[in-house]
Amino acid sequence: MKSTADTAGATGKPGALLHRVAERGRKPVSFVLNGQALTALAGDTVLTAVLTHSAQLRFSEFSGEPRAGFCMMGACQDCWVATESGQRMRACGTFVEEGMRLVTGAEAPV
């Protein structure tokens, strides 16, 4: 992934933190993020799936600042997201699944 235009079907929007480059051969996976239907690719973590559509993963409950969740080793607290039913998960270590319904709280600081 690089900060350049997407060349595959699972686009990164303008303002997204991650943009796909030359992705081919992975199956699209549909998921819902904060009520919006989106697409990722099979094998993406939730973190990757979200950041190809957004500039942040969520807002910190401590400072209210936007967080991207990039520790990538499960040690920080920056990548927690939840399903619409309330199940919490680390976005960095959870693979996106077809039909996942995620809530990040990224639409407004708490």
pLDDT at 110: 35
43-97 pLDDT, tens digit per residue, is 999 999 999 998 888 777 777 777 776 665 666 767 888 999 999 998 888 999 9
Question: Beta strand pairing status for 80-83 and 58-59?
Answer: unpaired
This prediction has a pTM of: 0.76
Q: Which residues pair with 32 in a beta bridge?
A: 37, 101
22: left (phi over 0), alpha (psi -120 to 50) or beta: left
